[in-house]
Structure 1
Amino acid sequence: MTLGPTVRRIIGLPDAEDWEQRRAKRGKPKRGQHPASGGPSAAVNPWETAAQQLKEQRPAPASASVPAALAATPAPGPAPQPAAPWVTLDERSGSAFARRLGRGVLWTLVGAFALLGAKSVLLPKQTPAPAQSAAPAQAGPAYPAGEAQAVAARYARAYLSWDEAVPETRAAALAAVLPEGADTKTGWDGKGKQDVLAVEAGTVTPAAQKQARVRVDVLVRAAPAAPPKKGAPAAPVLPASWVGLDVPVVQAAGRVIVTGPPGLVGIPAAGPKAPELTIPEADVAFGEQTAETVQKFFAAYADGGDVEAVTAPGASVPPLPAGVSLVEVASWTADKGSGPDRTGTALVTWRTGGAQLEQTYRVELTRVTSADAQRWQVAALHGGTA
C-alpha cells in the first residue's frame, strides 16, 4: 500500500522525492574517488558508475528494529536513471534513411563537379573560329604591259616595213627585239617595198611561262611596183590601210623580247552598238543667261587667242594652235543644277585645213564675285560628252 503525503508527514517519514535525493547524496562518490572503492581513480567509467547507482537504488531488506508500519511501507520506486551519453537509433527509421539519402546526393554532386572540372582542364572547349573570307591568292608581279607594248610596236614597224633594195635595214631593226641568233628575215622573201605610216599598240594578254600576246594596229601603204620598161606610166599610188598584228612576246632576263613570227588579223569595220546614255536635264534659263560668256570664250580660244580674260582665276586652258578659227557656237545647253559651279555642253564648228569640223565640248562654269558685281566664267574645258 502506498502512503500518501499527509500520512507520511504525520508519521514523520520523508517524502519519496526527498528520500531519493538523500539516498543519491549518500551514494555519490567524492571527487577523485572511484565509485565502488572510494579511492582515487585516473578516469571514471560511466558504465561502472551507472551499475553502482542501480545497486544503490534497490530497496534495502526490512530490519527488526524498524517499526512495523515502516516495514510494511513499500520501497519507493526506482530513481530515474541518468541519460545515456548517446541515443541508439533504429537503422530502419526515417531519420536514418534521410541522412543516408542526403549524404548520397551530396557525394554524387561532389563527384559530378569533380568530373566537370577535370574535363574542362583535360579537354578544353574548342570555340569554332569565326568564318573568314577566303584569303585572296597572292598574285605575282604584274606583267610589264608598257614594255611589252613598246617592244611589240617596234617589232610591228620593222616587220611590216621592207625594201628589196636595202634588206639590211629591216634585219637590223628586227634584231634589236628578237632573241639572240634568231632569223631576222622572219619569212620575208626579200622582194617588194612597203612603208609603215603609223603603229598603235593595244591590249596585252598575259599567258603561261611569262608569255603574252600584244595586239598592234599598223597603218601600211605598199609602194607601187617599178615600171617594167622605160617610158611606161608609173603605177598608181596605193591607198594606206590598217592591218592588225598579234605579236607574241616573253619576259626573259629582265626584259621583254619577241618569241617568233606574229599573225596578221583583221580589224572590225565598225564598233559595237553604243549603250543608251542618260542625257542631263537642261536648264533653259541658265543657258540663255550664260550663252554670251561661252561665245566669248570660244572666240578667244580659237587661233591662239588670249583666254585669261574670259576664264576664272586659277583656270588653265591652253589656246588652240594657229590656223584654227571659230565658225560658230552651234548650240549651248546648260545642265540643271544650282550653286556657284555649273556645267553644260557646247557644239562648236571650227575651220581648219580648208574644211569645217563640228566638235563637242563639256564646259565648266564658276561664279566669280567682285566688290561691285558677279559674273560667270569658264573654269575648265573637256572635249566630248563624257
Structure 2
Amino acid sequence: MNGVRAPFERFTRQGAAGGSPSVSADTEFPLSRATSFASQFAAVYLNFEAIRSQERAARLAPYLPDGAEAQFGWDGLGRMAAGAVQPYGTEIVDRDNAVVTLAFQSGNRRQLLSVPVFHDSQTDRFVVSGRPGILPAPTPANLPPVSAGERDEAAEAELRTPLADFFKAYAASDTASLQRYAAAGVTLEGFGGAFTFVQLKSLSVPLVGGATRDVTATVVWGVPSGATPSPGSTPSDPGDMSGKLEQAYLLTVVKQGDKWFVKDIRGAQRSVG
C-alpha cells in the first residue's frame, strides 16, 4: 500500500468492520472544538465552482488527512453555493471519533451535512476522517392553532397612542422621550436610528390582569435603503428603495394613575390563530 494513501484509508475504514462500538461513560471527546472544526470545513466543502477549483483545493487542505484527494470527491465540474452553516447534532463513536452533523442552506433548500471527525489525543489535533454525507433536513413542524382569548379593548384604546409614541422614540433612541414612557428605574435604549417607526399595526391586551399587563404589539419599521438618491431622482432598483418590516413584541406595561409605562420589551411569543 502506498504510504501516503495509508492514513486516509485507515481513517475511512474505522468502524466499518464491527459497526458502531459502545461508548464508555468516561469518554471525553472535545465536542465543541470538533464542531467548530467541522463547521469551518463545511463552509469550504459545500461551496465550489469549476473556475475556482484550485482555490477550493487549497482551502480544503488544512482539514484533510495525508493522501486525500484534493477536491475530496468533487469532479471539478458544476457549481454549488451554501451558507448559514450551523451545528445540528453530534454522535460520539468512541474516544477519538465522532460524526458532526451541520445544518446549511443551499438555494431554497435547508439540508444537513454529516462530517466524520477524528481527534488525535496525543497532538490534540483534528482531521476529517472520511467522506461527508449530505442529507435532507426535517421539514417544518405543524403548528397547531391556539385560541386568542378575551381582549381588554378599553386598555388597548388607552395604550395605542402612548405605545405608538414609545416605538417612535425607541426607533430613534430618543433618550428623553424614552424615559417619559419607561417605568421607574427602567432604562431603555432603542435602535439609534437603524429603523424608523411607520405604524403600530396591531395591539392585543389580555382581559386578565391588573395594573401590570403583558401586551403584544405588531410594529411596522421602515428599513433604510442605504443609498443616497440624487435630487429629484426616482429609484428604479427596488434595493435602493426604503422597505418595511413587520415585527412582533411582548411588552410588560405598568399603569400608574391614568398613565401606562413600559417596564420591559422583548420578542413576542407564538402567534394565535
The answer to whether the superposition gives a TM-score over 0.5 is yes
Q: 2:114 — aligned with what?
A: 246
Q: Which has the higher strand share?
A: 2
Q: Which residue of 1 aligns with 2:156?
A: 287
8 Å Cα contact 1:150-1:201 kept in structure 2: no
From the CA coordinates, give the structure whose radius of gyration is larger.
1
Partner Cα distance (1:360, 1:170) in 2: 42
Alpha-carbon distance in structure 1 between the residues aligned to 2:150 and 2:30: 44
Larger RCO (alpha carbons 8 Å, 6+ apart): 2
Structure 1 match to 2:98: 212
Query: Structure 1's 276 and 188: CA in aligned 2 closer, same or farther, altered over 3 A?
Result: same
Q: 1:149 to 1:357 in 2, by over 3 A?
A: same
* Separation in structure 1 between the aligned mates of residue 148 and residue 25 of structure 2, nearest angstrom: 40
Cα distance in structure 2, aligned partners of 1:140 and 1:188:
38
Q: d(CA) in 2 for partners of 1:336 and 1:148? A: 50
Instruction: Return closer, same or farther for 1:157/1:308 CA change in 2, 3 Å cut-off.
Output: same
The alpha-carbon distance between structure 1 residues 194 and 380, as it changes in their structure 2 partners (threshold 3 A), is: same
The residue type equivalent to 1:205 in the other structure is T
Aligned pair partner of 1:334 in 201, 205, 220: 205
State whether residues 93 and 99 of structure 2, in contact with CA within 8 Å, keep that contact through their aligned partners in structure 1: no
1:187 corresponds in structure 2 to: 73
| Residues 279-329 of structure 1: per-residue CA shift (max 9 Å, x gap) | 454333333333322221111122454433322244344322535222211
Distance in 2 (CA, whole Å) between partners of 1:285 and 1:249 is 60
Structure 1 residue runs of 5 or longer lacking an equivalent are 1-137, 221-238
**C-alpha contact 1:178 1:259 (8 A) present in aligned 2:** yes
| Structural RMSD (CA) | 3.2
1:297 is matched with which residue? 166
For residue 92 of structure 2, what is the amino acid of its counterpart?
A: A
Q: 1:207 to 1:364 in 2, by over 3 A?
A: same
CA distance in 2, matches of 1:288, 1:294: 10
Residues 1:365 and 1:145: Cα distance change in structure 2 (over 3 Å): farther
CA distance in 1, matches of 2:192, 2:35: 30
Q: Confirm or deny: 8 A CA contact 2:252 2:265 kept in the other structure.
A: yes
Q: CA deviation at 1:273?
A: 0.8
- Distance change (3 Å), C-alpha of 1:142 and 1:324: farther
- Indicate yes or no: 2:259 matched with 1:383: no
Residue 363 of structure 1 aligns with which residue?
251
Gaps of 5+ in 2: 1-23, 226-241
In the alignment, structure 1 residue 266 sits paired with structure 2 residue 136? yes
**Partners of 2:113 and 2:165 in 1: how far apart?**
47
Equivalence for 1:170: 56
Q: Which amino acid aligns with 2:115?
A: V
Matched residue SS, 2:204: strand
Deviation digits for residues 176-214 of structure 1 (CA, Å, limit 9, x no counterpart): 233455443211223445444x23223213232143333
User: Against the structure 1 CA distance between its residues 302 and 191, is the aligned structure 2 distance closer, same or farther, given a 3 Å change threshold?
Assistant: same
1:157 and 2:43 matched: yes
Q: Residue 7 of structure 1 aligns with which residue?
A: none
Superposed displacement of residue 378, structure 1: 1.1
User: Contact 1:280 / 1:335 at 8 angstroms: preserved in 2?
Assistant: yes
1: CA distance between counterparts of 2:147 and 2:30? 37
Following superposition, the deviation at residue 173 of structure 1 comes to 2.4
Aligned pair partner of 1:343 in 214, 239, 263: 214
- Structure 1 position 350, deviation (Å): 2.2
Q: Which residue is 1:315 aligned to?
A: 186
279 and 259 in structure 1: CA distance in 2 versus 1, 3 angstrom threshold: farther
Specify whether residues 250 and 201 from structure 1 end up closer, same or farther in structure 2 by C-alpha distance, changes over 3 A only.
farther
Higher helix share: 1
Q: Secondary structure at the match of 1:176?
A: helix
Q: 1:274 to 1:208 in 2, by over 3 A?
A: same
Q: Is the 8 A contact 2:251 2:266 kept in 1?
A: yes
The amino acid that maps onto 2:263 is: A
Deviation by residue 1:223-253 (Cα, 9 ceiling, x = unmatched)? xxxxxxxxxxxxxxxx675543222224432
Q: Say whether the 8 Å CA contact 1:199–1:216 is kept in structure 2.
A: no
Question: Distance in 1 between the 2:264 and 2:180 partners?
Answer: 14
Structure 2 Cα separation of the partners of residues 340 and 257 of structure 1: 59
Equivalent residues of 2:42, 2:85 under 8 A apart: no
* Cα separation, partners in 2 of 1:312 and 1:256, compared to 1, 3 Å: farther
